[in-house]
Chain A
Amino acid sequence: MAKVTFIEHNGKEHTVEVADGLTLMEGATKNMVPGIDADCGGACACATCMVFVPEEWLAKLPAKEDMEETMLDFCEHSEANSRLSCQIKVTKELDGIRVTMPESQH
């Protein structure tokens, strides 16, 4: 279980508890956090679940696989600290993580 804070583009914060094994994306969609569309449901096929991760947390995340890396590389609003939240499995180590969402996922 990890406490995760999702911050909307307008600054509004949502702190939710996410069970181990779920993805960060599921932590948002199952807890009614707006701002993560996840159209493909977590198949790494659509890039509509992007989040921005602060530097101090980036290193604690599992490395990006090729698919995520290239999807992000070609995503219109992505930045160096972008991740696809459907590719991040939640573990205890992520307790307290704060991520920001883009204005739009499209």
Chain B
Amino acid sequence: MAGQEKNGIVIIGAGQAGAQAVMSLRAEGYEGPIRLIGEEAEPPYQRPPLSKKFLAGEIGFDRVELKPAEFYEQSGCELILGTRVTRIEREAHLVHTGDGRAIGYDKLLIATGSRVREINVPGFDLPGVHYLRTVGDVREVQTHFHAGAKLVVVGGGYIGLEVAAVAKKNGMDVTVLETADRVMARVVDPIVSHFYQRIHAEEGVKIRTGETVAGFEGKGKVESVVTGEGEKFPCDFVVVGVGILPNVELAQEAGLHVENGIVVDECTQTSDPDICAAGDCTNHPNGVYGRRLRLESVQNAIEQGKTAAACLTGKAKPYSQVPWFWSDQYDLKLQIAGLSTGYTQAVTRGDPDHARSFAVFYLKDGVLVAVDAVNRAPEFMMARQLIAKHAKLDPARLRDETINMKEIEKA
């Protein structure tokens, strides 16, 4: 409309994807208004350290926040924090907030991320039962952190095991309850699960697999976790890490195409040409694997944030990368490249039964699709390149540690 001030770009979600989009928009030369709306009180920060160094108290918030406050001022980005977006009105190009504001946009980025999956068993709301997703969550968990405290972790995934490792290092008595018959069952081969179960046992963490949680009990606060079998695990506090759910409701209610995430194309555009989506909340195509993915990863958030910034300013910067993840537990760095879904053969390099360093390569009909590398940077770094080019590899060579990873492809 003639004479009307431009509304510019609105970003819903002040996480890693949203913050990256702000940086990339300015780097791309976009000069219009940017408004970044976040539900949490804090300015954008990194989530991965929350269950690692930040939980351990080794670094403070100043080391996890992504940019100092001046950045947003200098970038001409209005930070609207502690504010929940309740509705997107697509035809009017407006987003409505919980405090009754209507904010106009020319282009919109949905970067709403994900939230923890809650367990609704009796006693779930007792004080002392915590999740771990936000800085606020960590601060609450830390109030229970002292040597000798009894912690029960519900869920043996990345978050649960990282929390267990930090708590153990800080002198706590830690038990992990996992429903599946092994830890990290959703993401790694049994070889890797069994390795981590051995390590945690050696460190003194009790891991109980095949245990469901029937409820939490206690007077005024949680005092024990009751399993499906009726066994009671006494505790001073509980951390639940049983997965996350993508925040797709806003998009869904606005009538955007949503199916296991907000459906976007390789440039992060949704079914509305004026709306992009980035990060954990998206279902996006991946050229490396030739299928759609929904990823829970910081790499995906950052890279899609960059792609979205380009898309919102009319440029195409298709996103397609080999996904990677990592987990720090004790002195071990697990680095994962690729997705092992559908693998036909797992090849081990090194000795996971005795050493603290090894790698598992996942092959699908001979082609490398993923690697889990524990304290094995060469395997991880090389695999990232080999997965991208769909390299067909000889299992015997992968197993042979006398062959340098740089030579692994040669016949």
Judged by a CB distance under 8 angstroms, whether B191 is at the interface is no
**Extra inter-chain contacts (18) besides given A46-B326, A70-B378, CB under 8 Å:** A32-B67, A34-B27, A39-B299, A41-B46, A41-B48, A43-B48, A43-B52, A43-B333, A45-B324, A46-B324, A67-B377, A70-B381, A73-B377, A73-B378, A74-B377, A74-B378, A74-B382, A74-B405
Which residues of chain B have a CB within 8 Å of any CB of chain A?
27, 46, 48-49, 52, 63-64, 66-68, 71, 74, 298-299, 302, 324, 326, 328, 333, 335, 375, 377-378, 381-382, 385, 405-406
Could you give 8 example pairs across A and B, Cβ below 8 Å? A41-B298, A43-B48, A44-B333, A66-B377, A67-B377, A73-B378, A74-B406, A75-B381
Contacts of B66 in A (CB 8 A): 29
Contacts of A40 in B (CB 8 A): 48, 298, 326
Q: Is the CB of B335 within 8 A of A29?
A: no
Q: Is the CB of B49 within 8 A of A41?
A: yes
Contacts of A34 in B (CB 8 A): 27
Which residues of chain A have a CB within 8 Å of any CB of chain B?
22, 26, 29-30, 32, 34, 37, 39-41, 43-47, 66-67, 70-71, 73-76
Query: Whose C-beta in chain A lies nearest to the C-beta of B65?
Result: A30
Q: Is the CB of A47 within 8 A of B49?
A: no
**CA A45 – CA B302 in complex, angstroms?**
15
Query: Whose C-beta in chain A lies nearest to the C-beta of B303?
Result: A39
The prevalent SS among residues of B at the interface is helix
A74 to chain B, nearest CB (A): 3
**CA A32 – CA B298 in complex, angstroms?**
20
Q: Is the CB of A26 within 8 A of B377?
A: no
**CA A22 – CA B378 in complex, angstroms?**
27
**CA A22 – CA B302 in complex, angstroms?**
22
Q: Is the CB of A45 within 8 A of B67?
A: no
Query: Whose C-beta in chain A lies nearest to the C-beta of B375?
Result: A67
Q: Is the CB of B67 within 8 A of A29?
A: yes
Contacts of A74 in B (CB 8 A): 377-378, 381-382, 405-406
A-B pairs, 5 with minimum CB distance: A74-B381, A70-B377, A45-B326, A41-B46, A71-B377
B265 to chain A, nearest CB (A): 21
The prevalent SS among residues of A at the interface is loop
Contacts of A29 in B (CB 8 A): 66-67
A16 to chain B, nearest CB (A): 12
B204 to chain A, nearest CB (A): 24
Q: Which of B302, B335, B378 contacts A39 (CB 8 A)?
A: B302
A76 to chain B, nearest CB (A): 7
B29 to chain A, nearest CB (A): 12
A40 to chain B, nearest CB (A): 7
A81 to chain B, nearest CB (A): 19
Contacts of A32 in B (CB 8 A): 67, 71, 74
A13 to chain B, nearest CB (A): 17
Contacts of B326 in A (CB 8 A): 40, 43, 45-46
Q: Which of A39, A71, A73, A75 contacts B298 (CB 8 A)?
A: A39
B322 to chain A, nearest CB (A): 11
**CA A47 – CA B46 in complex, angstroms?**
17
Query: Whose C-beta in chain B lies nearest to the C-beta of A22?
Result: B63
Q: Is the CB of A30 within 8 A of B68?
A: yes
Contacts of A66 in B (CB 8 A): 377
Contacts of A43 in B (CB 8 A): 48-49, 52, 326, 328, 333
**CA A70 – CA B406 in complex, angstroms?**
12
Query: Whose C-beta in chain A lies nearest to the C-beta of B59?
Result: A42
Q: Is the CB of B377 within 8 A of A30?
A: no
Contacts of A75 in B (CB 8 A): 381
Given contacts A40-B48, A40-B326, A70-B377, contact A45 B68 (CB under 8 A): no
Most chain A CB within 10 A, of B48, B74, B298, B381, is at: B381
Q: Which of B67, B74, B381 contacts A71 (CB 8 A)?
A: B381
**CA A22 – CA B59 in complex, angstroms?**
10
**CA A74 – CA B256 in complex, angstroms?**
42
**CA A70 – CA B378 in complex, angstroms?**
6
Q: Is the CB of B381 within 8 A of A47?
A: yes
B333 to chain A, nearest CB (A): 7
Q: Is the CB of A46 within 8 A of B299?
A: yes
Q: Is the CB of A45 within 8 A of B378?
A: no
**CA A39 – CA B405 in complex, angstroms?**
24
B305 to chain A, nearest CB (A): 11
**CA A73 – CA B406 in complex, angstroms?**
10
Contacts of A45 in B (CB 8 A): 324, 326, 333, 335
Contacts of B48 in A (CB 8 A): 40-41, 43
Query: Whose C-beta in chain A lies nearest to the C-beta of B383?
Result: A74
Contacts of B333 in A (CB 8 A): 43-45, 67
